[in-house]
Amino acid sequence: MKRRDLLKSAVAAGAGVMAGGSTEYRATAAAAQVTGADNDFETFELGDFTLLSGEVLRSATLAYKTHGTLNPAKDNVIVYPTWYAGRHTSNEGSIGQDLALDPTRYFIVVPDQFGNGLSSSPSNTPPPQDRMRFPVVHPYDNVRAQHRLLTERYDIERVKLVVGFSMSGQQAFHWGALYPEMVERIAPICGSARTAVHNYVFLEGVKAALTADCAWANGEYASPPLAGLRAFSRVYAGWYASQSFFREGLHRAYGDDGVESMLVSAERSFGRFDANDLLAMLATWQAADIAAHPRFGGDLRAALGAIRAQAYVMPSRTDLYFPPEDNEVEVAQMPNADLRVIPSIWGHLAGGGGNPADRAWISEQLAELLES
């Protein structure tokens, strides 16, 4: 069921919230989410921001963090957006002097995507766009907001590289198509230009697990729907890695309890987020389609062909969300793209640097791309 359909169900059931209750909800959600390292970010005010759908996101904000220094020529810029249930702090393991994303050489901008609780999200947006009333955000909306950040705050005209993992890998594709004269290189890692039907169906499953909790209350919950969040996390965790990952016992790295430790780790990870925020990001993932912009009129070949950037597209050999076969089809329609398959049994986790070997392999590819 789409977000708007869920909203209709809530209205039909007579669900509602007093203004004071909504304020309390947002304050509680913010206190729970923005703590510790996550609180280290800047904010760019977008004002009333028109989305691809035509709906206006009122008083929109974009949270972000930068690493390194913008050089005088402003030609050392790398954009590295966040992924599903990730924040700017999640990207920091792939940034360092010993890695390709070296902050002593590059100015690395890490924008938080809409819906992650830091940029405009259901949990921090006032009525009438709070909770399930938050509009559906497309990857193109994230990309246009990031473009405004670069051009309006930093006067940047060229981007050396847009790199992203999973949902932010999808954003890398969209960056290349929408701003072909600005973006020199893209590196989508374990992501696709268009969310495949199989991927969409998986997301429907985890959505159903979350919203089946009676405490969900059609998104108008007074306290977190803990049973739904737990079910969501456990279903999601089954898709993190490949069958071979579990067969070879690599899940035991999460703790002595093996599978249970991995499941608990997933619960902790997703438990940091407001449930409405998780569904908002999920809606963006499902909406991902590089051909959806009016410039391309639904023509996937035209959208992929518009990417002029040198591209290294890096799926994991064993990814259950974004299998290499999907990227093979996309790369064949891109003029300057190479398919670089991560030789890993870590599944989707490989693209996020889940282990040192995969992290080093990806860094080597990025270093080669940056020197091309």
Task: Quick: pLDDT tens for 119-146.
Answer: 999 999 999 999 999 999 999 999 999 9
Q: Mean of the pLDDT values across residues 52-68?
A: 98
Residue of 277, 268, 285, 113 lying closest to 193 (CA atoms)? 285
| Residue 349 pLDDT exceeds 50 | yes
Whether 30 has a pLDDT exceeding 90, the answer reads no
Assign 117 a pLDDT band (cuts: 50, 70, 90). very high
Would you state the structure tokens that stand for residue 187, as one six-digit string?
């590196």
The percent of residues in the chain predicted with pLDDT above 90, rounded, is: 87
Confidence tier at 244 by pLDDT (50, 70, 90): very high
pTM for this structure? 0.91
Catalytic residue chosen out of the listed positions 90, 166, 233, 344:
166
**15 pLDDT higher than 60:** no
| pLDDT value of residue 11 | 27
Q: Is-catalytic flag, 348?
A: yes
What pLDDT band is residue 28 in, cutting at 50, 70 and 90? very low
Say whether the peptide bond before residue 128 is cis (omega within 30 degrees of 0).
yes
The pLDDT, as a whole number, for residue 208 is 98
Between 253 and 155, the higher pLDDT residue: 155
User: Residue 36 above 80 pLDDT?
Assistant: no
* Residues 6+ away with beta carbon under 8 Å from 269: 85, 233
Q: What is the pLDDT of residue 254?
A: 84
Q: Which domains does the chain have, with CATH numbers?
A: 3-371 (3.40.50.1820)
- pLDDT computed for residue 6 by the predictor: 35
101-106-107 Cα angle (round to 5): 110
Q: Are strands 107-111 and 56-67 parallel, antiparallel or unpaired?
A: antiparallel
Mean pLDDT of all residues in 338-342:
98
Catalytic one of 141, 319, 326, 358 = 319
Q: Which pLDDT belongs to residue 37?
A: 65
- Active-site residue identified among 88, 348, 358, 363: 348
The bridge status of strand 56-67 relative to strand 161-165 is: unpaired
What would the pLDDT profile of 81-96 be if each residue is shown by its tens digit?
999 999 999 999 999 9
What's the mean pLDDT in 279-285?
98
Burial of 206 per CB tally in 10 Å (0-12, 13-18, 19+):
buried
Q: In which band, very low, low, confident or very high, does the pLDDT at 242 lie, cut at 50, 70 and 90?
A: very high
Is residue 67 flagged as an active site residue? Answer: no
Q: 147 an active-site residue?
A: no
DSSP state of 278: H
**What is the four-CA torsion angle of 279, 281, 287, 290, rounded to 10 degrees?**
-170
Q: Among candidates 328, 331, 339, 326, which has minimal Cα distance to 200?
A: 326
Strands 161-165 and 310-313: unpaired
